[in-house]
């Protein structure tokens, strides 16, 4: 798996907008219970875009982007300090792996050997386990300023961690350019054959995290002809279902809330919202392509997401239940944020028709995600 990357853009809170191109700042973000320090790195450009990344979980803690009037606001859900990420993480902004999404029964096999994972989502494994990459302290490898300001974080996952074989060396590089593009490049190498599927789990609300507006009025476009429908435990049934004539047809712009509760499709999770993989391609590509476009009519903000991955999981915050108190000191509820996660298909290790999630020694895994911001009138 050798896939390309490029990109850069996004925003953060708590640090003033930079007056010059590509400013990078570093600050403390508290500490873990064992005393280890967590750092925050903020990337800024000249156009009011700022992204703050913390070393815990390689989390995108904040992202500010301007609206149609030039006012920049944080558009991601999350917390102002470490307590929230430790008490009620909800994967806000997190880097998830080794295997993002679900693995049926928490088991998979490589070369005839079966590996058993923790079942942390009903009968299935989810997002790398109870202590996946989102709950690890990453190391800052490199920080750069200039027209392509960036930070590279590194984490070494031990052989056998959370049940996965091979020592996996992972990097996450966030980069912000002057075109209002924030990119995240994930890479990984292994000492033994293993499976890898890493993505970013940011929740976005383009009206602004503090707005208390739901994302149901956001207009979404996803250029996917099919999805991978799921069973009652959210594991794909192995089929590719055409979106035509279903609430999953986002090939033309459609408001998220327009069809959630129209009763036409039991795959709309419990009548609450979307949580399904959309098929963009059959396999990872050499270059990032458009996976989704999101527009908030109230603010004029537009976000395009590009990636080299074959699928994108569309999740509308169905299980946010008001227990998480976010950055603006209000409770996050169902529909307060949406996630669009470029990745391999869920349960690929157990479904050969979906391709392969295998990574061998000598190969490099790459997932390239680009968040591109603009505005409409």
Which residues are tagged catalytic? 201, 341
CA gyration radius for the chain? 19
Contact 129, 96 (CB under 8 A): no
Contact 90, 324 (CB under 8 A): yes
Distance between CA atoms of 371 and 11, rounded to whole angstroms?
A: 11
- Give the dihedral of Cα atoms 267, 270, 274, 278; nearest 10 deg: -20
**Greatest Cα-to-Cα distance within the chain, rounded to the nearest angstrom:** 59
Phi and psi at 157, nearest 5°, equal -95, 120
Q: How many CA atoms lie within 13 A of 148 on its CB side?
A: 7
Nearest to 208 by CA among 75, 367, 82: 75
Q: What are the structure tokens assigned to 85, written together?
A: 């990420």
Nearest to 4 by CA among 368, 358, 359: 368
Contacts of 58 (CB under 8 A, 6+ apart): 94, 95, 133, 138, 153, 155, 172
Nearest to 168 by CA among 298, 361, 376, 310: 361
């Amino acid at each position: 798996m050798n896939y390309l990357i490029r990109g850069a853009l996004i925003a953060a809170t708590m640090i003033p907008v930079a007056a010059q191109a590509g400013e990078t700042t570093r600050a403390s973000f508290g500490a873990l219970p064992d005393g280890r320090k967590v750092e925050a790195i903020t990337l800024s450009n000249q156009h009011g875009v700022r992204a703050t990344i913390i070393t815990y979980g390689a989390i995108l803690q904040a992202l500010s982007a301007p609206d149609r009037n030039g006012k920049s606001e944080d558009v991601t859900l999350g917390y102002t300090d470490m307590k929230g990420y430790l008490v009620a993480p909800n994967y806000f902004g997190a880097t998830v792996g080794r295997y993002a999404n679900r693995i049926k029964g928490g088991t998979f096999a490589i070369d005839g050997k079966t590996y058993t994972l923790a079942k942390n989502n009903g009968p299935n494994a989810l997002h790398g386990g109870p202590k996946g990459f989102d709950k690890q302290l990453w190391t800052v490898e490199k920080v750069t300023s200039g027209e392509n300001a960036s930070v590279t974080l590194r984490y070494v996952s031990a052989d056998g961690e959370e049940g996965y074989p091979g020592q996996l060396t992972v990097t996450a590089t966030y980069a912000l350019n002057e075109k209002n593009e924030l990119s995240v490049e994930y890479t990984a190498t292994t000492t033994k054959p293993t499976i890898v599927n890493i993505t970013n789990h940011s929740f976005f609300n383009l009206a602004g995290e503090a707005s208390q507006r739901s994302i149901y009025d956001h207009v979404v476009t996803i250029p996917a002809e099919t999805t991978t429908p799921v069973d009652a435990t959210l594991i794909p049934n192995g089929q590719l279902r055409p979106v035509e004539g279903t609430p999953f047809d986002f090939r033309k712009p459609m408001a998220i809330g327009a069809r959630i509760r129209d009763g036409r499709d039991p795959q709309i999770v419990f009548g609450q919202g979307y949580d399904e993989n959309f098929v963009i391609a059959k396999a990872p590509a050499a270059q990032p392509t458009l996976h989704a476009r999101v527009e908030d009519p109230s603010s004029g903000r537009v976000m395009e997401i590009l990636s080299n991955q074959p699928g994108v999981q569309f999740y509308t915050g169905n299980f946010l239940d008001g227990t998480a108190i976010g950055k603006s000191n209000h409770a996050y509820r169902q529909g307060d944020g949406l996630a669009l996660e470029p990745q391999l298909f869920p349960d690929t290790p157990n479904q050969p028709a979906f391709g392969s999630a295998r990574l061998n020694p000598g190969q490099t895994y790459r997932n390239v995600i680009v968040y591109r911001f603009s505005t409409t009138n």
